[in-house]
Amino acid sequence: MQFNFIPNDLPLPIPTGGLEAVDVVLTVLLVVAWLVHILFINVLLGASTGSVYFNKRGARENNPVFDRVAYLLTTPVTICENMGALWGVAPLLLISVMFTPLFYAAAIMNSPQWLHIIYGNIAAFLLSYLYKYTWHKLEHRKSLHLAIGTAAVALFLTLPLVFMATVQLYMTPTTWTLNTHFWDALFRADTFFRLVHFYLASFAVTGLFMMIYGTAKRKSDDEVTRQAGDVLVNTGKSWFLLPTVLNLFAGPLVLFHFPSYGIENFFNAGWYWLIILGVVSILGAAYLTIKDFFNPDLSKGKLWSIVGLAFITVLSMATLRHGMRLSLTSEAMAQSKAQSDDFVARSKAASEEAKNAQKAAAVATLSPAEVALEKNGCLACHSADQKLVGPAYKDVAQKGYSDEQIVALIYAPKPENWPDFIPMPPQPQLPKEDAAIIAKWINGLK
């Protein structure tokens, strides 16, 4: 497989410190951080949508229970938007280190839409807080209040579009061209089905959360809140079941819209067993939910059995997602490394060639005496006009030695002539012709 547009940027080296297990640690951190992040985001999208839905329904039917349900759902929204954003930083940083050339190339293709993650988040956060904390002040201006909540939900629902387009791009570098951009990635079939799968999963996870949240609220001392708890549990069952069943069909559409080489690598590596585990677990959770679907009193044991089975599925999906990432990107990352290694080797060769050429040019401008001085290491201790380890050559010239005397002193130095300097050792290795050239040059400095 040849990837035509893999950038030549140098991959960031992962500092292992000699511990190869660091790569495993980073992989585990990536899976866990992404899982925590995505669960908060799932509940954020589902609960914010549910709050607006029940708010509108409560106003239309003049039903205080639905209004209470809507208000109760604003609490997980404000919590999840903060925790989701916080935990979202970790997987982004890990991916940018582990898949540097692919991730940053995809992010560049998605600019300036990538900025929507920042500005869209800010606007959605502010609107959601305004929606929550004006609940009682705007209770007689429901149209305005619903407009604020609807705007927040709309913004929240658009944020995954940018993320998913970027993810699909960096995971499928065979689809890159010189003109690939955000809209190309967004309207692809693989991106579409992943978005469908993601949104359905968000409402399924929110359904589970509603069952847990509603069970807790059933214990309230307030009658309206207790009734709201019943609504949350019953609604949670429907929200969990319907998206879960639909995702059993959407999941295979996601899988088989990836490039064929990635699917082949995925199955050859044995990741498919996680699909089997996830499907079996979620079917078990769905069966328990259907069994007690019309039972208003969902026992705590049954509830946590459903949640436990669903969590096995979510953990399986998070792990096999990384398996698909590796299946799709390993060859591209290997090519990127090979290109980088070749670039480094050519850069070093060019640098050495430039240094040698510069050195040769410098030597070409030297006099024969300076060449002899450089070749024999004399300049390590002496300079023409500055005192170093030994006296300057100009100072030697001022002594009035003949050329023959200087030659003799090179081979048999007299330290007593220069008491302020470290004694010079004899230089028997210096060729006589070089010594004669050096002596004549020194006397020329008078």
**What pLDDT does 14 receive?**
67
- Sequence spans of domains, the chain: 21-347, 368-443
Instruction: Read off the pLDDT band of 443 (50, 70, 90).
Output: confident
CATH classification code of 368-443: 1.10.760.10
Least confident of 30-44, 204-218, 259-273, 380-394: 380-394
Whether residue 165 contacts residue 154, with contact meaning beta carbons closer than 8 Å, is answered with no
Q: What are phi and psi of 236, to 5 degrees?
A: -60, -35
Q: What are the structure tokens assigned to 266, written together?
A: 């995925």
Measured from the Cβ of residue 31, the count of other Cβ atoms closer than 10 Å reads 19
**What pLDDT does 265 receive?**
94
Three-class SS state of 212: helix
Average pLDDT of every residue of the chain: 90
pLDDT one-digit tens code per residue, 53-107: 999 999 999 999 999 999 999 999 999 999 999 999 999 999 988 898 899 889 8
Instruction: Read off the pLDDT band of 419 (50, 70, 90).
Output: confident
* H helix or E strand, kind and range, residue 133: helix 116-133
* pTM for this model (two decimals): 0.79
Least confident of 5-14, 24-33, 132-141, 322-331: 5-14
**What pLDDT does 377 receive?**
87
Alpha carbons 237 and 284: distance in angstroms, whole number: 14
Three-class SS state of 359: helix
pLDDT one-digit tens code per residue, 242-293: 999 999 999 999 999 999 999 999 999 999 999 999 999 999 999 999 998 8
Please state, for a pLDDT cut of 90, what percent of the chain lies above it.
61
pLDDT one-digit tens code per residue, 191-249: 999 999 999 999 999 999 999 999 999 999 999 999 999 999 999 999 999 999 999 99
Nearest CA among 237, 241, 183, 182 for reference residue 214: 237
